[in-house]
A and B are shown apart, each in its own frame.
Chain A
Amino acid sequence: MRRGMRLLLSLWLLSAAGFFLVGLLPFDPVAEAMQHNPSMKAADVRRLRALYHFDDPLPVRYGHWLKRFATGDWGRSRVYGEPALSLLAQRLGNTVVLFAGALAAAVLLFGPAFVVQGLFPSSTAERLGLSLSTAFLCLPPFWLGLMALFVFSVLLGWFPLGGTGVLEETSGPARLRFLVLPALVLAAQHVGQWLRLEHPHALSAPHTGWMQAGLSKGFSRRWLFFHRQIKPAMGRLSTVWALDLPTFLGGALITETVFNWPGVARLLYESVMSKDTDVVMACLLFMGLITLLANTLADAAVGWFDPRARGETTS
């Protein structure tokens, strides 16, 4: 219950901050209308400004917007001429596909690396993985995408140069080729971070009391890893994963831009650049809602994986 209230409060603050900031974008709709229609008279301008409440103080305008927003009227895109909400819905599918791809890539990259890290800490393979992780974390995310495009699409020609594929022309498996690079790029840096976070735990695990006790009882190192070491690690990582979701969305902003992937994050970027104010607000609130939901879920997940944390997070 309190979590729900907090979520609503955060969302409201985000909408207020967003509304205020969107008002600061270098754009004046009436001035633009005047440019398109030079025969507009001063009286028309005044009428338009009054119609859209442009001269009211900001809190009043926010009130008007909030009322519209609450009744489900999220405004229209002035670029596409469509309702912002339906525009959002169109792009959502692509972002979901990208996230599913990134998730698959993350599992494929992280799973084996994590097992190697846990079973053979400070082996050559593990150190190589750690160095690569550090390197990936220090690469500018958009540059990683650009270089991936240059090497794998331009030089080697393995993958297409961005986009999601033409709907009619390419079938399912062929369209998958469009997903590979963006999904890998979106996942790579996060996987690196997870590995780095787990590294000290993997190093110290062989020296812990429970590990020594387990080994002396005759359990194998591998059995102990899979049955005793993984679950607490997942508990530690689940907070990271939840806090990663906003960064994943931020990463999507970059990945979708570099790879020309028409998803929600790219829609936000495009609408900020074209001052499409209603769409900016719709995207911002949608991404905010996802982020806040993820945080709430993370609180719950930590308690599930690690009973010790249960008392602390039920506030």
Chain B
Amino acid sequence: MKTPFWRSLPPQGKTGLLLLVATVLACAVGPVLWPASAYDLKDGLRYAPPGPGLPLGGDELGRDALARLLLGGRYSLTTALLGSLLATAAGLGLGLMAGWRRGWADEGIGAVVDLLLSLPLISLALIVAAADPQKMGLGDWFYSPPGQVLRLALLLGFLNWMGVQRLVRAETRRTASLAYCEAAQAAGAGAGWLLWRVILPGVWPTVAVAFTFLFGGALLLESTLSYLGVGISPPAPTWGNLLRAAQEYFFRAPHLLLAPGLMLFAAALGANLLGSSSRSTWGRA
């Protein structure tokens, strides 16, 4: 008998899920409900402290800080979601391959994973993020905000797949050695069927938990790169580059410092709580 997912979650996990849903919903629906523009400059609003009709104040150019916060969430969350999906997909594919085929495929992938995990990846990421799309042979589209989101998501995916690969590989090997898998094999099941119907269901919970953690981590990494000025560049807002701007107006407009950080914290905490409690309900991971 299956208990519904929500019921099986411990209170911590429920808090996490609610936090996550709340932040995502705020950013998805918020810009529609809150009519102020995230780009319109109004001179009177420069450095304006929070007040009636202006819940988070105005930024350094007189834009509505709440509108920018909500729109920024769309960029930040989309990038993190895309990046962690890419990392999970790559880790899942390579993990299944390494765990199932063993032999040289396993050893080769393992060597690459070891190598990548031993390199100072943040430093490399900084250089990659600062690289010129044109020199990589990419078109002008990669300078536009959606293009930057995709570029950053690809980078996040590349930086994070190794952990998933290790988990999936271990889980694949474990499942493949179980009696019911051997039984299916003895009954004449093909490799494709086995992977899809036997191995994958065994690996799935691990992957889901890893994905949840990755999402939180990717969100923080994206915001860090944007904070360092190599992520998504203004005027498109993200929580990271909002904080970069806020730091420059530390004394004149300290109110700009709080909200983006709290949103990042809420989303990352949500993902983390959800991940660690579903890990305990789903067993190993």
Residues of B close to A22: CB separation below 8 A = 127
Q: What's the Cα separation between A73 and B203 when bound, in Å?
A: 50
Stretch from B22-30, B31-39, B97-105, B264-272 at the A interface: B264-272
Query: B119 to A14, Cβ gap below 8 A?
Result: yes
Partner of B228, one of A24, A135, A246, A257: A257
Also in contact, A253 and B269, with CB within 8 A (given A146-B243, A146-B257, A291-B118): no
Residues of A close to B124: CB separation below 8 A = 14, 17-18, 21, 284
Q: What's the Cα separation between A295 and B121 when bound, in Å?
A: 14
Also in contact, A140 and B123, with CB within 8 A (given A24-B136, A295-B118): no
Which secondary structure dominates where chain A touches chain B?
A: helix
Return the CB mask of A235-248 against B: 1 if under 8 Å, else 0. Answer: 00000000100110
CB within 8 Å of B: which of A252-301? 253-254, 257-258, 265, 268-269, 272-273, 280, 283-284, 287-288, 291-292, 295
Chain B residue, CB-CB nearest to A21? B127
Instruction: Judge whether B91 is part of the interface by a CB distance below 8 angstroms.
Output: no
Return the CB mask of B225-269 against A: 1 if under 8 Å, else 0. Answer: 001111000000001100100110011001001001100110011
Q: What's the Cα separation between A291 and B268 when bound, in Å?
A: 27
Instruction: Judge whether B131 is part of the interface by a CB distance below 8 angstroms.
Output: yes
Tell me the minimal C-beta distance from B67 to chain A in angstroms. 21
Instruction: Judge whether A52 is part of the interface by a CB distance below 8 angstroms.
Output: no
Query: B130 to A25, Cβ gap below 8 A?
Result: yes
Residues of B close to A220: CB separation below 8 A = none
Chain B residue, CB-CB nearest to A13? B115
Partner of A26, one of B135, B243, B260: B135
CB within 8 Å of B: which of A9-58? 10, 13-14, 17-18, 21-27
Query: B131 to A26, Cβ gap below 8 A?
Result: yes
Tell me the minimal C-beta distance from A136 to chain B in angstroms. 10
Tell me the minimal C-beta distance from B15 to chain A in angstroms. 11
Query: B131 to A147, Cβ gap below 8 A?
Result: no
Instruction: Judge whether B207 is part of the interface by a CB distance below 8 angstroms.
Output: no
Query: B123 to A250, Cβ gap below 8 A?
Result: yes
Also in contact, A134 and B273, with CB within 8 A (given A141-B220, A147-B257, A268-B123): yes
Query: What bracket does the count of chain B residues touching chain A fall in?
Result: 35 or more
Return the CB mask of B105-144 against A: 1 if under 8 Å, else 0. Answer: 0000000000101111111101110111011100000000
Instruction: Judge whether A226 is part of the interface by a CB distance below 8 angstroms.
Output: no
Query: A142 to B127, Cβ gap below 8 A?
Result: no
Q: What's the Cα separation between A26 and B117 when bound, in Å?
A: 27
Tell me the minimal C-beta distance from A116 to chain B in angstroms. 21
Chain B residue, CB-CB nearest to A251? B122
Instruction: Judge whether A219 is part of the interface by a CB distance below 8 angstroms.
Output: no
Tell me the minimal C-beta distance from B180 to chain A in angstroms. 29
A-B contact count (CB 8 A): 139
Query: B265 to A250, Cβ gap below 8 A?
Result: no
Instruction: Judge whether B165 is part of the interface by a CB distance below 8 angstroms.
Output: no
Query: B220 to A154, Cβ gap below 8 A?
Result: no
Tell me the minimal C-beta distance from A253 to chain B in angstroms. 6
Query: B272 to A142, Cβ gap below 8 A?
Result: no
Query: B261 to A146, Cβ gap below 8 A?
Result: yes
Q: What's the Cα separation between A120 and B128 when bound, in Å?
A: 46
Return the CB mask of A96-131 against B: 1 if under 8 Å, else 0. Answer: 000000000000000000000000000000000000
Instruction: Judge whether B78 is part of the interface by a CB distance below 8 angstroms.
Output: no
Residues of B close to A249: CB separation below 8 A = 120, 122-123
CB within 8 Å of A: which of B36-77? none
Tell me the minimal C-beta distance from B231 to chain A in angstroms. 12
Query: B131 to A21, Cβ gap below 8 A?
Result: yes
Chain B residue, CB-CB nearest to A294? B118
Give 7 closest A-B pairs by Cβ, nearest first. Answer: A250-B122, A26-B132, A24-B131, A143-B261, A138-B268, A138-B269, A21-B127
Please name 23 pairs of A and B residues whose Cβ atoms are closer than 8 Å in the assembled complex, sorted by A: A14-B119, A21-B131, A23-B135, A24-B135, A26-B131, A26-B134, A27-B132, A134-B273, A134-B276, A138-B216, A138-B220, A140-B239, A142-B223, A143-B223, A143-B265, A150-B254, A246-B120, A246-B122, A253-B126, A254-B228, A272-B130, A273-B229, A284-B124
A interface residues (Cβ-Cβ under 8 A, vs B):
10, 13-14, 17-18, 21-27, 134-135, 137-143, 146-147, 149-150, 154, 243, 246-247, 249-250, 253-254, 257-258, 265, 268-269, 272-273, 280, 283-284, 287-288, 291-292, 295
* Beyond known contacts A14-B124, A138-B269: 8 more, CB 8 A cutoff: A24-B127, A25-B130, A25-B131, A135-B269, A154-B251, A246-B122, A253-B122, A258-B247
